[in-house]
Amino acid sequence: MMISKTYTAIFGLLGVLIVSLAVFGSFALASTPTPAGAVNISVIDYGSATETTATTVNASYGNISRLDLTANASTKRWHGYFGNITASLKLGNGSAVFYDFGGAQINTVFATSTNSFAWGQLVAATASNVDTAWGYTTNAADNASKVFSGSGTVENIASVPTVTTVGSFVTGAFADSTPTTRGDFAFGAVVYNPAKTGFDSSATYSYQLMVPTGVQNSQQYYLYMSLK
């Protein structure tokens, strides 16, 4: 059984998600994950990177000026999620608990734009296919090919394109066996236990997850968990 909650990703924003997970029944995880459980999301805060504002300069006839310029801009193609996870594993019927196994260990937090992702066909994506699905051009400074420039083993799948965010948190790009649309992709953040210092150096988090939004657009995502 797979149950999820949805959340909308907006370009250039970071969202804090505190996630709790309760799983009822039995299941097995093989080389590809079968996410299960109910995700209860508490949105604590969100924001975007500070952009520089324009300043004025004077132009006078007959003169030339050297101008050395710097600027900060917020991405228009990505959203970041980060937060902590508490999880429990139970056997029961509905809300009636037959046996409580206690705390559950989470491997990965997945985000996908569909609630019918083919988890049994989970493979490593290619960054270029992500670019195609979300309409990112090859010359964009923040396209998927530039973001997912690393490679690693995530969820026991080798050669997954990865991005490492500040704090050394890893997100991998996945797909089903024949990715053609956005719903054929999933993005998975490695979950760290114990939690570690995050990008802002002010708190510890279990995960940091990057997802595409399209260009100056928003994208709805379903969140799933895979258990150890």
Residue 208's φ and ψ, nearest 5 degrees, are -135, 125
Provide the pLDDT for residue 41: 64
Location of structure tokens 């510890």: 204
Give the C-alpha separation, 134 to 217, whole Å: 10
Q: Where are the domains of the chain?
A: 5-49+73-227
Q: Give 183's DSSP letter.
A: G
Dump strand ranges (E) for 78-165: 78-93, 96-103, 106-112, 123-124, 150-154, 157-165
Cβ neighbour number for residue 127 with a 10 Å cutoff: 20
| 31-54 pLDDT per residue, tens | 444 665 445 666 666 676 677 777
Average pLDDT of the chain is: 83
Residue 172, pLDDT above cutoff 60: yes
pTM over 0.75: yes
| 59-103 pLDDT per residue, tens | 888 898 888 888 788 889 999 999 998 888 889 998 899 999 988
Going by C-alpha positions, the residue among 132, 115, 125, 181 that lies closest to residue 154 is 125
Q: Are strands 106-112 and 185-190 parallel, antiparallel or unpaired?
A: antiparallel
Quick one: what percent of the chain has pLDDT higher than 90? 52
> For the chain, how far is it from start to end, CA to CA, in angstroms?
16
Confidence of residue 6 (pLDDT cuts 50, 70, 90): low
Are 155 and 32 contacting, i.e. CB atoms less than 8 angstroms apart? Answer: yes
Provide the pLDDT for residue 55: 80
Are 6 and 222 contacting, i.e. CB atoms less than 8 angstroms apart? Answer: yes
